[in-house]
Amino acid sequence: MKTRHCLVVLFLITTLTLLMDIPVKTWLTSATLSLLLGTCALVYMAASCVLASRWSVVENVFGGLDRVYEAHKWLGIWALVFATYHFVFKANLDVWNSVPILELPKYWTRLVRQLSYVALGLIVLLALNRNIPYNVWRWWHKLSGPLFLIVILHGLSFKSPITLTAPSGVWLTLCCSLGVIGALYKLVLYPWVGRAGEYRVTAVNRANGALHLTLAPIHNGFDFKAGQFAFLAMQVKGLREPHPFTIASANRENGQIAFMIRGLGDYTNALADCAKVGMRADLYAPYGRFKRAVQAEREIWIGAGVGISPFISWLQDPAAKDFDKATLVYCFTPARAFPPAEQVQTMARLRGAQFVSNAGGLERLADTLRQAVAETDPDKVHISFCGPKGLLVKVRELMNAHRIPPANLHSERFEFR
C-alpha cells in the first residue's frame, strides 16, 4: 500500500459511512463538508497512531517501516488541513436534529473543541520542525497519544447526527479504538516487547567525520535480513532515545552487528563523539524491506555516503548469489569517504560484483546507466538507491533519460522526522 492509497481509502470509507447518516438534500452544504472533514481528521489521527505503533502487520502492509512513517507524516498533515476547515465552518444543521454522544457543560464543550485543534496543530508542527533537538523532539512527539484523547473527547461532546450505532459511529469507534490501543502500546509496552536485545560496544572506528560501531549481544542476538535497519538506544544520558540506523553487516552466528553513522544532527554528533568500547545499548529490530531485485537481469546499486550501509550488508550476506549481474556505484566526497572506496571495492570483487567509484559529480554514474541499457533491455534494469534526496532526484532524471521505468527504482526512506 502506498501513502496515497491509505489517504484515499480512509477518506472514501469515512465519506460513505457519514453520508448514510444524513439527509441527501443536505449533502452539498458547507456544514456537511465541515462535518466530513472534521470526522476524516479524527480518522487520520487514529490511523497515524496505529502506524506509529511499529506493529509488524502494519509494516508488511506498506512494505517497510520507512513507508509506514511517510504515510504517518502525511496523515498528520492532512488531518490538520481538514481540521482547519472544520474549525472555521459550522458542522451542524437544524434539520439534522443533532445531539452529542457525551453531554458536557457548554464551557467544557467549547474548551475541548479549541484544545483539540491546538493539540492537532502542535502534534503536526512539532513533528515537522527539524530545528528542535532530537531528544526534546522525541519527548514532545510522545504527547501525540494523550493529545489524541482530547480530539476524541471533542468528537464525543459536540452536537452531530453521528450516533454510536450508525455506520459512521461504528467506523469511528473502530478507528479510535485501534488508535488508542496503538498509542498505549507505543508508550507503555513497546519499550519492553519491542526490544530485540541488549548489546555491548566491542569496536569503535572513526574517520572523516563518520563512525563505524560494532556491537555484540550480551545474551542473545536477533535474526535479520541484509538491508534492514534497527533502532539504537545507547544506555547513556542524552542518547537513550531509539534512533534508526541501517545495519552495515550481515547476520552472523556470533550475533555481532555493525552500524555506520555520520554526525548530521545533535544526536548523531553526540553519539560519534562519546561512543567507546564497553558502552551498552538496547536494539529494537529488525525493520525495513530493502531487498535485492533478484529477478532482474541487471542490478545497479547506488549508495551515497553512509547510504552504502545496506549494500555492504548485501555483499556480506553468505546466502546471497548472482553478484555477477550487480554493479555497485559508490557516490562519495573524497574528503568525507567512509568507508574508503578501496575497502568497498575489495568487498565487491570478493563477491564477483562490479564496482564503480563515483567521487563527486554524476559522470561515472551516468556512464554506468548508459552502459547498462546498452547491454540489457531498459525494462530489465533494476536500480536500488540509498542516499540523500537531492541525489535521488538526479537518479530519477538519469533513469528517464535512459528509458528505465520509474517502477524499476527501489529506495529506502530513512528520514523519520
Give 69-80 pLDDT, tens digit per residue: 899 989 989 998
Q: How far apart are the first and last CA of the chain?
A: 21
| pTM of this structure | 0.87
Q: What is the DSSP letter of 218?
A: S
How far is residue 133 CA from its own chain's centroid?
A: 19
Q: What percent of the chain has pLDDT over 90?
A: 65
CB hemisphere CA count around 131 (13 angstroms): 1
Distances (CA, A) of 208 to 211, 212, 243, 279: 9, 11, 22, 22
Q: Using the predicted structure, report yes or no on whether residue 15 has a pLDDT greater than 90.
A: yes
The amino acid sitting at 385 is F
3-class SS letters over 341-364: HHHHHHHHHHCCCEEEEEECCCHH
Q: What is the pLDDT of residue 123?
A: 78
H/E segment holding residue 327? strand 326-332
Which candidate, 230, 148, 156, places its Cα nearest to that of 183? Answer: 148
Domains 197-287 and 298-411 share a fold: no
Sequence ranges of the domains in the chain: 3-193, 197-287, 298-411
The amino acid sitting at 24 is V
Distances (CA, A) of 60 to 63, 64, 174, 288: 5, 6, 21, 9
Q: Using the predicted structure, report yes or no on whether residue 310 has a pLDDT greater than 90.
A: yes
Q: What is the pLDDT of residue 415?
A: 60
Average pLDDT over residues 140-167: 88
Looking up cell 535479520 gives: 224
What's the grid cell of residue 400? 528517464
Average pLDDT over residues 89-94: 91
Q: What is the pLDDT of residue 401?
A: 95
The amino acid sitting at 23 is P
Please answer whether residues 302 and 384 qualify as being in contact, where contact means their C-beta atoms are separated by less than 8 angstroms: yes
Q: Using the predicted structure, report yes or no on whether residue 404 has a pLDDT greater than 70.
A: yes
Q: Using the predicted structure, report yes or no on whether residue 127 has a pLDDT greater than 90.
A: no
140 vs 132: CA distance, rounded Å: 10
If pLDDT is split at 50, 70 and 90, which confidence band does 417 have? low
Q: Using the predicted structure, report yes or no on whether residue 136 has a pLDDT greater than 90.
A: no
- Name the region of 413 (left: φ>0; alpha: ψ -120 to 50; beta: rest): beta
Which candidate, 261, 125, 288, 161, places its Cα nearest to that of 205? Answer: 261
Q: Mean pLDDT of all residues in the chain?
A: 91
Q: What is the pLDDT of residue 210?
A: 87
Q: What is the pLDDT of residue 416?
A: 53
pLDDT in tens, 337-388: 888 999 999 999 999 999 999 997 899 999 999 999 999 999 999 999 999 8
Q: What is the pLDDT of residue 122?
A: 79
Please answer whether residues 82 and 44 qualify as being in contact, where contact means their C-beta atoms are separated by less than 8 angstroms: yes
pLDDT in tens, 247-272: 999 888 888 999 999 887 788 888 98
Q: Using the predicted structure, report yes or no on whether residue 135 has a pLDDT greater than 70.
A: no
The amino acid sitting at 17 is T
Q: Out of 3.40.50.80, 3.40.50.2300, 3.30.420.40, 3.90.180.10, select the CATH number for domain 298-411.
A: 3.40.50.80
Average pLDDT over residues 221-239: 91
Q: What is the DSSP letter of 99?
A: B
Distances (CA, A) of 353 to 82, 261, 294, 342: 50, 25, 14, 14
Which candidate, 250, 258, 301, 323, places its Cα nearest to that of 412? Answer: 301
Domain at 197-287, CATH class: mainly beta
41 vs 37: CA distance, rounded Å: 6
Phi, psi of 324 (to 5 degrees): -65, -20
C-alpha radius of gyration, the chain, whole number: 25
Q: What is the pLDDT of residue 264?
A: 75
26 or 209, higher pLDDT: 26
For 50, the 3-state DSSP assignment is helix
pLDDT in tens, 172-220: 999 999 999 999 999 899 988 888 999 999 999 998 878 999 999 998 8
